[in-house]
Amino acid sequence: MSAPLRASTFEMIENDFVKHDWRSHSRPRTLRYVLLKWILCFLIGGITGCVGFFNNLAVENIAGVKFVVTSNMMLANKYAWAFMVFAVSNFILTMFASVITSCIAPAAAGSGIPEVKAYLNGVDAPDVFSLRTLVVKIVGSIAAVSSSLHVGKAGPLVHTGACIASILGQGGSRKYGLTCKWLRYFKNDRDRRDLVTCGAGAGVAAAFRAPVGGVLFALECVASWWRSALLWRTFFTTAIVAVVLRALIDVCKSGKCGLFGQGGLIMYDVTADKITYHLVDLPPVIVLGIIGGILGSIHNFLLEKVLRIYNRINEKGLARKFLLAASVSILTSCCLFGLPWLASCRPCPTGLKEACPSIGRSGNFKKYQCAPDHYNDLASLFFNTNDDTIRNLYSAGTDDVFTKFSIILFFVTSFFLGIISYGVVAPTGLFVPVILTGATYGRLVGMLMGSRSTLDHGLFAVLGSASLLGGTMRMTVSVCVIILELTNNLLLLPLVMLVLLISKSVADTSTTNIYDLIVKLKGLPYLEAHAEPYMRQLTVSDVVTGPLQMFNGVEKISNIVHVLKTTVIMGSL
């Protein structure tokens, strides 16, 4: 990155000018300021909700057409043509995402959550919240997810929400002359940071239809500073997102949204109404937590290695970047289309003749290459959009639908595809691949338990997702609430908590969380929750007399803030 990093301040700088300005404020002006701030939150929620919905609508329709066309070709036994169409459309979509990201807004690459987290903790990287980044992030994310790359939409949506918030707060983009004079109030770091917090929460709320999860996510992101007024404002924003999403999905229920379907595509219903669990179910749940912790650590470790390699490749120019993206796309297409052939066809379960094999997009029972009245269980996992695959894995009463072989194969593929896909120069999210991978080994544990456990395998899949999220992201409270809101089942709570608790604890012993790891790789410093030990030895005079000595590099900015914080505490009490 060419432009320098900037440390954002945590509070307004209260010098004489500001104080004088404040004193001169009239009551109407203060009222206008407060009102404007609420209106901005309303707009952030509304726009983020619309973008989130539009993102889903576009992905379901683009990927949907792709799958319908290829499925129809396979029904007509034109397998080679089907693969060609599938691979070429994936390739075009991936390259489109990669080209616009590389050439127009490199800051839109990746998940965006690390950048948002860094910003909220005091480091403002250049161009991260520009209008260009916003547009590329939205369009690129749709293309990347539609191209069947093993990437998610949640991270990009968080970044999108934050971008919208930042741009609105600045009264538009100065670069393109789209500025509003009356929004200049919010051109200070504190107000901007507040708005970006709301935007990040709104992004999570839009991605998972999880308004409370969004608030908690924002709260867990902002490790170093939190004001109680912010809680209420973020909550308001995510509520708006929830209302907007609900209204738009109601519109789609009348069937006007093409392949978007009945709008259940954002929320996964684990339909087992009455979940009961007993003491005997605890051991597998604990095992899931431990597996999640270990796999999460390995995932983070491998991802870091892969990202280092990718960084070296990407530094060598545009051609290499595109080559990398192309290779990943082709590899993914081959895996998704080729691996299902390894599964043997299974006869449709009796009594389900109508739903099996499911011709078209959704449903557990893909016909693929099989004879009539048979289905290919592996194709239901591979040859689907990520959302549909998650729904297949989460759905209750499907204990006999998948074979162990299919689940293991999908688990291994999903784990490694997730790691190699993230680093592609395009808007890529980490949440969905992790949820997918977790769900598979969750189901596997359920299968291995067999009749010894009373829990549904769909439930095991949910717990598996929770465990891997806990092991990689380590944002336990928000992940827990997101999972609950995603599955709309509060009775899961104690089990999800237990799994998260164990997986986070296990994973924390070895590697750091995935976002801090990416932040470090990107060279963005930020204020951690705890000061480094040596700072305890510093005194007031070290700061006051020698601040210049400490500014030896960008990495030290966060330290300065810490030293100042520590100094106060030491000096004050």
Q: Measured from the CB of residue 228, what is the shortest distance to its own copies in angstroms?
A: 5
SS3 27: helix
Q: Measured from the CB of residue 429, what is the shortest distance to its own copies in angstroms?
A: 23
Specify the residue, 22 or 405, whose C-beta has the smaller distance to its own copies: 22
Specify the residue, 222 or 436, whose C-beta has the smaller distance to its own copies: 222
Q: Measured from the CB of residue 288, what is the shortest distance to its own copies in angstroms?
A: 16
Phi, psi of 552 (to 5 degrees): -80, -10
> β-pairing, 172-173 with 178-179?
antiparallel
CB-side exposure of 91: number of CA atoms within 13 Å?
Answer: 12
Specify the residue, 181 or 536, whose C-beta has the smaller distance to its own copies: 536
> β-pairing, 123-124 with 6-7?
antiparallel
* Tokens 């509060």, located at residue: 490
Q: Measured from the CB of residue 564, what is the shortest distance to its own copies in angstroms?
A: 4
Specify the residue, 128 or 242, whose C-beta has the smaller distance to its own copies: 242
| CA–CA dist 109, 191 (Å, integer) | 26
H-helix segments, 259-400: 282-314, 318-338, 377-382, 386-394
Specify the residue, 23 or 256, whose C-beta has the smaller distance to its own copies: 23
Helix (H) or strand (E) segment spanning residue 8 = none
Q: Measured from the CB of residue 99, what is the shortest distance to its own copies in angstroms?
A: 39
Q: Measured from the CB of residue 253, what is the shortest distance to its own copies in angstroms?
A: 10
- CB 238, CB 215: distance < 8 Å: yes
Cα of first residue to Cα of last residue in the chain, in angstroms, is 42
Q: What is the dihedral of CA 204, 207, 209, 214, to 10 degrees?
A: 0
Provide DSSP, 451-507: GG--S-HHHHHHHHHHHHHHHHT--HHHHHHHHHHHHT-GGGHHHHHHHHHHHHHHH
Q: Measured from the CB of residue 503, what is the shortest distance to its own copies in angstroms?
A: 13
Token code pair at residue 364: 């557990």
State the residues that interact with its own copies by CB under 8 A.
Answer: 9-11, 13-15, 19, 22, 211-212, 215-216, 219-220, 223-224, 226-229, 231-232, 235-236, 239, 242-243, 246, 476-477, 480-481, 484-485, 488, 490-491, 493-494, 497-498, 501, 504, 529, 536-537, 561, 564-573
Specify the residue, 139 or 204, whose C-beta has the smaller distance to its own copies: 204
Specify the residue, 370 or 455, whose C-beta has the smaller distance to its own copies: 455
**b (16+ CB within 10 A) / e for 522-550:** eebbbbeeebeeeeeebeeeeeeeeeeee
- CB 154, CB 386: distance < 8 Å: no
Specify the residue, 216 or 420, whose C-beta has the smaller distance to its own copies: 216
Q: Measured from the CB of residue 481, what is the shortest distance to its own copies in angstroms?
A: 6
Q: Measured from the CB of residue 267, what is the shortest distance to its own copies in angstroms?
A: 9
Token code pair at residue 26: 């009239």
Specify the residue, 372 or 571, whose C-beta has the smaller distance to its own copies: 571
Q: Distance of alpha carbon 191 from its chain centroid, rounded?
A: 25
Cα–Cα distances in angstroms (integers) from residue 341 to residues 344, 367, 377, 379, 435, in the given order:
7, 11, 10, 8, 24
Specify the residue, 206 or 419, whose C-beta has the smaller distance to its own copies: 206
Specify the residue, 314 or 487, whose C-beta has the smaller distance to its own copies: 487
Among candidate residues 151, 152, 115, the one with its CA nearest the CA of residue 133: 115
Specify the residue, 522 or 565, whose C-beta has the smaller distance to its own copies: 565
Task: State the sign of the Cα–Cα–Cα–Cα dihedral 330, 335, 341, 345.
Answer: negative
Where does residue 444 rank: exposed (0-12), middle (13-18), buried (19+ CB within 10 A)? buried
Q: Measured from the CB of residue 16, what is the shortest distance to its own copies in angstroms?
A: 10
Phi, psi of 258 (to 5 degrees): 65, -130
Task: For residue 357, say if its preceding peptide bond is cis, omega within 30 degrees of 0.
Answer: yes
Specify the residue, 361 or 504, whose C-beta has the smaller distance to its own copies: 504
**Cross-strand bridge partners of residue 376:** 366
